[in-house]
Structure 1
Amino acid sequence: MSEAPTVKVAIEENEGQISARKFLTPECLSAALLVSSNLLSKTPIDEVVLELSRQTDAVNRGDMSRAEDMLVAQAHTLDALFVHLTSRALSSKNMGGLESYMRLALKAQNQARATLQTLGELKTPKQVAFVKQANIGSQVQVNNGIQEKPARTRKTKKAQNELLEVEHGEWLDTRASGTAGGADPAMATLGAKHRTAKRRG
């Protein structure tokens, strides 16, 4: 008896799940913050969500003009904040106020610089180069950028010499043994009493 086929039943979302998925989108969260801060006067939140969705879709299509406009505006705002804080610092009557305002002013100036740098990278992205490392030769080791020969090099040369001797059936040095030098007295020429009585012709 064959088994009954498995049937996949589609599970529909209830109203709570639909609302949660809708209200937790980035557009809804940003719209809720903008409306609650009274920055948009009495603009309906639904219209704010739709506008943010249009801007998000534009970015997804590769249109970064809105993001570029935003960065330019933020850079101007940070620059104005730098000027204002610097003015407050110079008008301070004590060193503590001067130091506090100047610290905040320099932070605003640095943020303005970083914003403009981000804008520049957005307009002209950096070219990333991928470089592959090629290891040439089996007798080279790379340690922190320093090339060194392995310690087994001498053993390799010795093995090559022994292999050459076996293949040719003779030693590399075929010359007759030479006379002992003065460097090793033990191997010096024999004395008169140790010589043979008969000399070779």
Structure 2
Amino acid sequence: MGDISVGAVGAAAIAGFASLLGLIIAKEQKVSEFRQAWIDALRKCFVDYLVNINAVSDNIRLRSAGVHDDKDGLLEGYRALNEASNGIKLRINNKEKTASKLLKTMGDFEGLASDNKKMTPENIKLIEDRFLDESQELLKFEWKRVKRGEHIFVLMKYIAILIIFLSVPATIYLIKFQDREMEMQSISHSNMIRVEGFSPRY
């Protein structure tokens, strides 16, 4: 009876914990999927940012050479550049080291864009190389975070391992404790029977 009760309680506890762990894993898996989609959107913003920086530079250079005067194209280039820039800024945490480095480089780009004369391929190339390195570093950092899992998932994983590690000796101890208790009760019951068997009869 003791073995059954301990086993039932242990099985119920393990089943409850497994259900909780399953819910947490499902939730964190969904969070990781959202984070992956966020990374893909951020990567697209990086590409759009560089494409439009160079498009604006080409437009300015052609206007300066008198080849054509496409004001609408230049304005559209700046609009798309601002859209990509804001898309990046809204998706990253400026308090993280990798993000703050990238934002500083984007500030250098914006310094060039404020003066058409500075928007030359040579000036852009210098900053573009830094931007590529820092954007790749940021994407790598975020990808590692996705692979590692969210903080609560990592915590629950270690808690699960700890509970499994402790549950085996705890269950063995409880079973032995109840067996000993039952044995003591059995001995006590036997002694009571002997005492009653030798009691004087009147």
How would you bin the TM-score normalised by the shorter chain?
A: under 0.3
Higher RCO (CA 8 Å, separation ≥ 6 residues): 2
Larger Rg: 1
Normalised to the residue count of structure 2, the TM-score between the two structures is: 0.26
Structure ranking higher in helix proportion: 2
Normalised to the residue count of structure 1, the TM-score between the two structures is: 0.26
